[in-house]
Amino acid sequence: MLAYVPMALGKAEVLRFRDALAGAPWEDGAPSGGASKTAKRNSQVPPDSELARKLGAAVGSALLASPAFVAAAIPLRIFPPLFERHEVGDRYDPHVDNAVRGDAMTGARIRVDLAATLLLSEPEEYDGGHLVVEDMFGSREFKPRAGDAVLFSAGSLNMLTPITRGERISSFVWVQSMIQSDEARDMICDLDTAIQDLSARIDGDDPDMRKLTTVYHNLIRIWGEA
């Protein structure tokens, strides 16, 4: 699973987030790296702070309002998003994300199926800082626009190349999907995307569209959890 989600946040929302984070306290981000914390060099807003929780709720709402994100992730639970800053020299070496995450504040635990990086900095604001994800098609590199997100399987090897100029501000999200299997989720995503594309050209009461929609929901019944 690897999906690019454009405009998960609008430009006005990005500016609002940046203003809110301008005076935020930052701490060492390594502890949130779990088993891969030694590979991680960055800073983050304290995850349990009021600011992180407030902005995190807004990120979660924005992602759930994005048809592209919902089609690709089929989300069941979203872990409280992190807010990260990478400055010159910061990086995240190759790693695989933890399979399970627990929230210290609520005690809630999720199985981590997917990870998403939502950018709050424009690519021209910094050099380096490329997100690199290895999937079945090889190594793929991303440097998204502010407001765009990259969604990928949490079981994929991924890294962030060192920052050599400026700073990169982002939100990082872990997701438990209704569909645990990457292969099944990819097929349902393709079907959902096709239905969305066809619905713009075909009458919603078309009998073949009804058949496709029925297949979509029945596949989620077979493979999904809620």
Residue positions in the annotated binding site for 2-oxoglutarate?
168
For the record, the structure tokens of 26 come out as 């930052």
56-60 own/partner pairs: CB under 8 Å, 24+ apart:
56/80, 56/81, 56/82, 56/83, 56/171, 58/13, 58/17, 59/9, 59/118, 59/171, 59/173, 60/173
Q: Which residues contact 218 (CB under 8 A, 6 or more apart)?
A: none
Angle between helices 50-64 and 11-22 (to 10 degrees): 170
- Report the 10 Å Cβ neighbour count for 139: 11
Q: Which residue has the tokens 């190594």?
A: 139
With beta carbons less than 8 A apart as the criterion, state whether 45 and 108 touch: no
For residue 32, the 8-state DSSP code is G
List the binding residues: 168
